Amino acid sequence: MNATAQIAQSPVSVSIGALIERCRSEIATHADRLNGLDCAIGDGDHGTNMLRGFDALLAERELLNALPIDETLVEAGRILVMTIGGASGPLYGTLLIELGRALGSGVVNNEFSSAFQQAVDAVAKRGKSKGGDKTLLDVLYPVADLLDEQHDIEGLPGMAFAFAESTVPLQAMRGRASFLGERSIGHMDPGAASCALLIAAVCRALNEGCRA
Ligand SMILES: [Mg+2]
């Protein structure tokens, strides 16, 4: 089944609580590595901040599980804005809030990819950033393209990690890392890394039809 169709079915086949658990566990497993990546070109707290955000989602999972999917995404986005903080909170928050709004406004089923594209554009606007700036957009934009092309969900995790890897040779143009100028070259962007981890966790959960 292609990714868009599978994601569109997610409220039926996958429990939101289980998805949150999978994402939180992925971030917990890699929190030290994310802190390490952020140490190289930022202030070393990206893993800690992301874990705080996903701990907060986990604490609210019963509420989030009970809401319709569009409202779940908006509420989860608000929680991430409040708890992750820094630059990443508003970016991840915007992604989920705008995805929820797009889905709630009637974008359904096979149009999940347009809702996702809309949400990624909102992240770019919020971060005053674009692809190639060495941010999570370097993962989100190509993943949005793959969804648009009806790419198989099984292949998405590997592709997402490759997109994160592609930020290594880039010079950071936004955020704290941009203050380093050319010295930001040679390091993976921590936001792109966490983004790939989360996309992979969601895809694997959907693929397995994981339940709470
Ligand atoms: Mg940081």
- The CATH topology of domain 3-208 is 1.25.40
Rounded Cα–Cα distance for residues 82 and 11 (Å): 25
At residue 8, the pLDDT reads 56
pLDDT tens digits, one per residue of 123-182: 999 999 999 999 999 999 999 999 999 888 899 999 999 999 999 999 999 888 999 999
Each domain of the chain, given as residue ranges in start order, spans 3-208
Reduce the DSSP state of residue 80 to 3 states and report it. helix
Q: 111 C-alpha vs ligand 1 centroid, how far in Å?
A: 34
User: Taking residues 48-54, what's their average pLDDT?
Assistant: 98
Exposure of 175 by Cβ count < 10 A (0-12 exposed, 13-18 middle, 19+ buried)? Answer: buried
Q: 108 C-alpha vs ligand 1 centroid, how far in Å?
A: 35
Q: 107 C-alpha vs ligand 1 centroid, how far in Å?
A: 34
The answer to whether the beta carbons of residues 117 and 103 sit under 8 Å apart is: no
pLDDT tens digits, one per residue of 68-114: 999 999 999 999 999 999 899 999 999 999 999 999 887 555 588 99
- C-alpha to C-alpha distances, 203 to 19, 101, 130, 136, nearest whole angstrom: 10, 21, 24, 17
Q: 38 C-alpha vs ligand 1 centroid, how far in Å?
A: 6
The answer to whether the beta carbons of residues 129 and 191 sit under 8 Å apart is: no
Q: 86 C-alpha vs ligand 1 centroid, how far in Å?
A: 7
Q: What is the pTM of this model?
A: 0.91
